[in-house]
């Protein structure tokens, strides 16, 4: 197995608790869950070829009458 980089990461208590609960649901460690989520985001970026959607700054249109 290739060596892994160690990266210090600061998370709010709320975000950590949310990730920890999600990790428990998926039978992963918190570290494993963070690595999984980051991997999925990178795969999606490679698939789309973009960092964010093209219309990220376009305000939503509401049809309220």
- Summarised one tens digit per residue, pLDDT across range 29-40 is 999 999 999 988
Q: For the CA atoms of 38, 44, 45, 46, what is the dihedral angle to 10 degrees?
A: 110
- The pLDDT of residue 44: 80
More confident residue, 49 or 35: 35
> For residue 56, is pLDDT > 70?
no
Mean pLDDT estimate for the chain? 84
Region 45-53 average pLDDT: 67
Supply the pLDDT for residue 36: 93
- CA distance to 36, 37, 41, per residue, from 3 (Å): 16, 19, 21
The rounded distance, in Å, linking the Cα atoms of 20 and 34 is 9
Full-model pTM: 0.67
Phi and psi angles of residue 46, each rounded to the nearest 5 degrees, phi first:
-65, -35
């Amino acid at each position: 197995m290739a060596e892994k980089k160690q990266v210090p990461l600061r998370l709010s208590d709320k975000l950590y608790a949310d990730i920890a609960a999600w990790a428990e649901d998926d039978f992963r460690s918190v570290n494993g869950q963070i690595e999984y989520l980051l991997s999925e985001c990178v795969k999606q970026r490679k698939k789309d070829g973009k960092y964010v959607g093209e219309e990220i700054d376009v305000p939503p249109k509401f049809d309220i009458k």
